[in-house]
Amino acid sequence: METRLIKISTENPEADLVEEAARVLREGGLVAFPTETVYGLGGNGLDSEACKKIYSAKGRPSDNPLILHISQISELRPIVREIPPKAQKLMDAFWPGPLTMIFPKSDIVPLTTTGGLDTVAVRFPSHPVAIAIIRASGLPIAGPSANSSGKPSPTRASHVAFDLSGKIDMIVDGGAAEWGLESTIVDVSGEIPIILRPGAITKEMMEAVVDEVLIDPAILSKPSDDLRPKAPGMKYTHYSPAAKVTLVKGDSNAVIRKINQLCASDSAQGKKTGVMATEETKEFYQADVVLSLGKRESPEEIGANLFKFLRKFDFLGVDMVYSEVFPEVGEGLAIMNRLNKAAGYSRIDAE
Ligand code: TXA
Ligand code: MG
């Protein structure tokens, strides 16, 4: 299959191009499109066949459900069985935006979309191109991240092309995704909302609206038999570049010393080394490739660069990547959740 690449303006999405993308979706095809978090791989969320194509293009296990994307609040009602009062409050506060909520699903949503579950994940993105395409299609659009399953989520159209060229109908290039990490997922089907995947909308932000919010304890530890994440997708290896990623924890000087020792010994064995550093530390590392995620006090910057850098290390043929760690609060929780998964939970304490 030939994949068409079209560029659409974010400031002023061209109506004719938007309509071309929407037509592909209405006809059962797949279109990758930008959102404010990461690029999504869109298909008709009410059409089992389109959803099967999504699983197959990504190489994704079919028990890992898809998020339905809407372009206005009125599109929510037909796809859910009920809208709990706390969901209404969260939606009033954070939609459109990087928040996905889990609702009991209505009958029109196929089980193929929800990976066999009786619930459905819904998100109303804020990206003008995403909104325009969904609105023009007239459909709820199933949209997982537009990467090959297991690879870091794409934050650029070029990342999507690298993973999915030849496997999907169209890629809409709308520039770089602003947040760079996937949306926060919150389950609102019970009494107290539970965060299943941390993201830009933090626990603290949601607590300002609905008092209490819990976090799925499986988010920061390696999935095990007694600690199984509630979002099926969170149990899979994820975000993994080809390089082996190891996190190094400790005070700044000890971390720099430890990473430099590890890089020296890897180099002696002929390995190419890489470091995910910060603005404060980047000049102190001796490795083949040193990339600065941003300033420590700027988690937005770190989040926006993380997946891009994981892909860049692969592109540069790096074998061993060492990364600093960050406080697990606010947006830092999302950063550490993705870093831990990229590293397969391998972490070294620097003395
Ligand atoms: O930011 C995002 O959310 C991006 C953009 C494209 O919107 N999408 C995205 O989708 O990250 P995906 O499919 O890569 O991740 C969706 C996650 C998976 O871990 C999946 O298991 C979980 O959401 N999920 C989907 N439906 C669910 C449900 N009914 N119950 C629990 N978890 C669910
Ligand atoms: Mg994904």
The tens place of each residue's pLDDT in the chain, 351 residues long, gives 999 999 999 999 999 999 999 999 999 999 999 999 999 999 999 999 999 999 999 999 999 999 999 999 999 999 999 999 999 999 999 999 999 999 999 999 999 999 999 999 999 999 999 999 999 999 999 999 999 999 999 999 999 999 999 999 999 999 999 999 999 999 998 899 999 999 999 999 999 999 999 999 888 777 776 777 788 887 766 667 789 999 999 999 999 999 999 999 999 999 999 999 999 999 999 999 999 999 999 999 999 999 999 999 999 999 999 999 999 999 999 999 999 999 999 999 998
Q: pTM of the entire structure? A: 0.96
At 236, phi and psi to the nearest 5? -85, 155
Reference 191, options 170, 210, 168; nearest CA is: 210
User: Residues enclosing ligand 1, CB less than 6 A?
Assistant: 35, 37-38, 40, 64-67, 100, 102, 114, 117, 119-121, 123, 125, 143-145, 182-183, 185, 196, 230-234
Sheet holding 99-104, edge to edge: 4-7, 170-173, 31-33, 40-44, 141-142, 67-69, 119-123, 99-104, 184-187, 194-197, 214-215
CA of 233 to the centre of ligand 1 (A): 7
| Beta strand pairing call for 347-349 and 244-249 | parallel
**Ligand 1 atom 17: the closest Cα is on which residue?**
233
From the CB of residue 208, how many other CB atoms can be counted at a distance below 10 Å? 11
What are φ and ψ of residue 246, in 5° steps?
-130, 135
Q: Which residues pair with 119 in a beta bridge?
A: 104
